[in-house]
Amino acid sequence: MRRKPLLLFFLLLGSTAFVPAQTTPAKTPGAAIASSLKIVEHDFVPAAEAMPADKYDFAPTGGEFKGVRTFAQQVKHVASANYMFGSVLLGEKPPVEGGGENGPATLKTKAEIMKYLEDSFAYLDKAMASVTDKNALEPINSPEGKSSRLSLASFAVAHPFDHYGQMVVYLRMNGIIPPSSRPESK
């Protein structure tokens, strides 16, 4: 019974009244979810770009921050999860190495990490397009067990928002105003 309110929420989120960047109402559940994915991508990618390359290894160490991911690991984790969610939605093997909880250890430079991130959002966007009226509530095997395709797609949108919040803290601790918080220039 809890899925109906969630479905309604995301279908409403996909309408033009709720997503100003979209010019026409979504025609499928996947298109509605994809419009929400664009919102998080619009904030997440510029935040990842805003951190200077020499600060990508930054992680707070004081207080309750001991043992947290570095900024680079936050970015790689989200990108890796995007690939994993996308591959489950599409029913295929991920197109790239996931690398576990902190993403591939082979990606070292900011440029490599940014490409991995941008490509992951493109792949996840492709996967969102596969969610249709007919298969949205179809059971699939997600990393957390059985789920519907729509539930997994909605979690795939929520996940980067969680890490975006953490990245904002890291940026501000380094004296950087996140791009989405900067005043608009006129």
Strand partners, 140: 147
For domain 3-181, is the CATH number 1.20.120.450?
yes
| 8-state DSSP, 184 | P
Distance CA 167, CA 173 (A): 10
Q: Is the pLDDT of residue 144 over 50?
A: yes
- Which one, of 159, 8, 1, lies nearest residue 88 by Cα? 159
Q: Which tens digit of pLDDT belongs to each residue from 17-68?
A: 344 455 678 888 889 999 999 999 999 999 999 999 999 999 998 888 888 9
Structure confidence at residue 1 as a pLDDT band (50, 70, 90): very low
What pLDDT does 17 receive? 38
What pLDDT does 23 receive? 60
Q: Output 175 or 3, whichever has higher pLDDT.
A: 175
Q: What is the mean pLDDT of residues 145-157?
A: 92
Amino acid at 124: L
> What's the token pair of residue 44?
């997440």
DSSP letter for each residue of 122-160: HHHHHHHTT--TTTTT-EEEETTEEEEHHHHHHHHHHHH
